Amino acid sequence: MFDAVLRGLRLIGRNVIDRIWRLGYASRFFAAVLMHSGTALRRYNLTIREIYFAGVLSLIIISVSGLFVGMVLGLQGYDTLQRYGSSDSLGVLVALSLVRELGPVVAGLLFASRAGSAITAEIGLMKATEQITAMEMMAVDPIARVVAPRFWGGVISMPLLAALFSALGVFGGWLVGVVLIGVDDGSFWAQMQAAVDFRQDIVNGVIKSAVFGMAVAWIAVFEGYDAIPTAEGVSRATTRTVVTSSLAILALDFVLTAFMFRGI
Amino acid sequence: MNRATIDLWVGIFVALGLAALLVLALKVGNLASANISDTYTVQANFANIGGLKVRAPVKSSGVVVGRVAGISFDAKEYHAVVSLQIDRRYEFPRDTIPSILTSGLLGEQYIGLEVGGDPKVLKDGDTFKITQSAVVLEKLISQFLFDKAAEGEPKKPAAAGAETK
């Protein structure tokens, strides 16, 4: 009985210590990536290659999702707003919800599952096939050569993808609201422009997406680098990347929103 | 995939992203219209500001001429002090009356400037002499009910007749 309690307590203690150790390890890894970023940015064609894999190849899914999210917002928003006789503010609803929340968050979630998982799998597989060890043998720093370009590729791609998502979403909302349903074109844009503030809404949205991009890229490269070098370990690391970065995006979004939009 | 193709695609991607940001700033946001840079500040004291917020527009004849820069409470005189930033291109006579108005039935509140006829104009740091406070809906309704009751008191049958019609 007493032994069972002790064993339970020991289990809790070991789990907590493991978590904290892992968090510290991830932070030190993050610092190492930042310190080795100089090489990655100087040899910028490495980073450009990663922007291609993380950003350009995500264009299709981001564009299509943005368009459809905007179109659904147009339909649902119109249905609710016309009950209160204010369907003219459809533009405000679509633009504010996209620029402030849906753009950064949904683009971040898509980015985590499309690009983050690919980064983890790639680095994990490099580790499993001992390419990373081989690099160390050749005195090539794997963090500078492999990890940092992937990190910066993700950080640079994410705000651009979120901006595209929001812009296409507004276009989708316009398509449904103005072209399909027949909300007045002038009041759609005029009310939107009166309500959306550049600094308060758009810049804050871009800051959000940059923070999410940094979080997703960090988690993705860390999970890949830390993966157990077996087929099962890589598959687990990929799953962890998607789960952890999705949760991180939602939690960070709450914190950032509380700081940015509490005053109004 | 060779180097030139990757460079081209990344170039297209970055250009698309920046274009989207530009569209958001100019077409969706108000960056194109909100560049009031050179301003002067005047104070206005209101007995009640209702739901006025910082950054609310200041309009004259319906045109935006400035923004509300700050709202504070004067604990000596017990009134609200609102500072208005007005575009330097526009000058207003000293007896201009600012009033807190509402756009639409339930829209946002803004300050409307009713222009006076004084030849002297307002300068930086001046205070408006006469102001008109926000209309509080509850007070308006209670006044309306009070008036109705007062006019209904003496001739009750007529009021009752009017109601059944």
**Burial class (CB within 10 angstroms; exposed 0-12, middle 13-18, buried 19+) of B145:** exposed
Residue-wise pLDDT for B9-62, tens only, equals: 888 998 999 999 888 888 877 665 555 668 889 999 998 888 888 778 888 888
Nearest residue to A148 via CA among A123, A180, A173: A123
User: In sequence order, what are the beta bridge partners of B81?
Assistant: B45, B72
In a domain, A13, yes or no: no
A173, with CB counted inside 10 A (0-12, 13-18, 19+), is: buried
pLDDT tens digits along A73-129: 999 999 998 888 788 889 899 999 999 999 999 999 999 999 999 999 999 999 999
Q: How many Cβ atoms from other residues are within 10 Å of residue B78's Cβ?
A: 8
For residue B96, what is the enclosing H or E element? none
Percentage of chain A beyond pLDDT 90 is: 71
Q: For residue B159, is pLDDT > 50? A: no
Is A69 a domain residue?
Answer: yes
What does the alpha-carbon distance between residue B110 and residue B55 come to, in Å, rounded to a whole number? Answer: 9
Which residue type does B8 have? Answer: L
pLDDT at B88: 86
The residue type of B158 is A
Mean pLDDT of A16-39: 91
pLDDT score recorded for residue A59: 92
A166 vs B contacts (CB less than 8 Å): 20, 24, 28
Compute how many other C-beta atoms are within 10 angstroms of the C-beta atom of residue A174: 24
User: Which residue bears the tokens 């799998």?
Assistant: A121
How do the residues of chain B divide into helix, strand and coil, expressed in percent and rounded to 5? Answer: 30, 30, 40
H or E element at residue B138:
helix B137-152
Mean pLDDT score, B100-119: 81
Q: Which residues from B are below 8 Å from A49, CB to CB? A: 6
A178 lies within 8 A of chain B by CB: no
Contact assignment for A201 to B18 by CB distance below 8 Å: no
Q: Is A6 a domain residue?
A: no
**What pLDDT is stored for residue B155 in this prediction?**
56
Least confident of A152-161, A208-217, B17-26: B17-26
Q: How confident is the model at residue B164 (pLDDT cuts 50, 70, 90)?
A: very low
Specify the number of domains making up chain A. Answer: 1
Pairing of the two strands B39-46 and B97-102: unpaired
Q: Do B53 and A160 touch (CB under 8 A)?
A: no
Closest by Cβ to B30, choosing from A59, A164, A198: A198
CA A23, CA A36: separation in Å to the nearest integer?
20
Closest in A52, A99, A159 to B28, CB measured: A99
CA distance A15 to chain B (A): 43
At B165 the pLDDT is 41
The radius of gyration computed from the CA coordinates of chain B, to the nearest angstrom, equals 25
Contact (CB<8Å) B10/A55: yes
At A121-143, the pLDDT tens digits run 999 999 999 999 999 999 888 88
Closest chain A C-alpha to B55 CA, distance in angstroms: 10
Smallest CA–CA distance, residue A130 to chain B, in Å, is: 25
How many whole angstroms separate alpha carbon A86 and alpha carbon A178?
A: 14
How many Cβ pairs within 8 Å bridge chains A and B?
A: 85
Q: Write down the mean pLDDT value for chain A.
A: 91
Residue with tokens 């009640």: B48
In a domain, A28, yes or no: no
Task: Tell if the CB–CB gap between B13 and A163 is shorter than 8 Å.
Answer: no
User: Residue B163 — pLDDT band, cuts 50, 70, 90?
Assistant: very low
Under the banding of pLDDT at 50, 70 and 90, the label for residue B161 is: very low
In a domain, A25, yes or no: no
In DSSP notation, A30-67 reads HHHHHHTHHHHHHSHHHHHHHHHHHTGGGHHHHHHHHH
Chain A residues with CB inside 8 Å of B7's CB?
48
Q: Which residues of A136-163 are buried (b: 16+ CB within 10 A; e: fewer)?
A: eeeeeebbbbbbbbbbbbbbbbbbbbbb
Note the pLDDT of residue B70.
87
For B63-86, what is the mean pLDDT? 88
Asked if B18 and A170 come within 8 Å (Cβ–Cβ), the reply is no
Among residues A70, A91, A72, the alpha carbon closest in space to that of A183 is found at A91
Q: Round the CA-based radius of gyration of chain A to a whole number and report it.
A: 22
A170 vs A188: CA distance, rounded Å: 11
- Give the model's pLDDT for residue B33: 56
The boundaries of the domain holding residue A123 are 36-260
Q: Is residue A143 part of a domain?
A: yes
Of A48, A161, A164, the CB nearest to B10: A48
Q: Is A196 on the interface with B (CB under 8 A)?
A: yes
pLDDT, position A216: 95
- B108 confidence band (pLDDT: 50, 70, 90): confident
What DSSP string runs through A72-92? HHHHHHHHHHGGGT-GGGHHH
Residue A258 has pLDDT above 80, yes or no: yes
The fraction of chain A above a pLDDT of 70, given in percent, is 99
Closest residue in A to B33 (Cα) is A193
CB contact under 8 A, B29 and A164: no
Q: How confident is the model at residue B156 (pLDDT cuts 50, 70, 90)?
A: low
The pLDDT of A197-208, averaged and rounded, is: 89
Give the pLDDT confidence score for residue A83 in this predicted structure: 86
Q: What is the mean pLDDT of residues B125-131?
A: 87
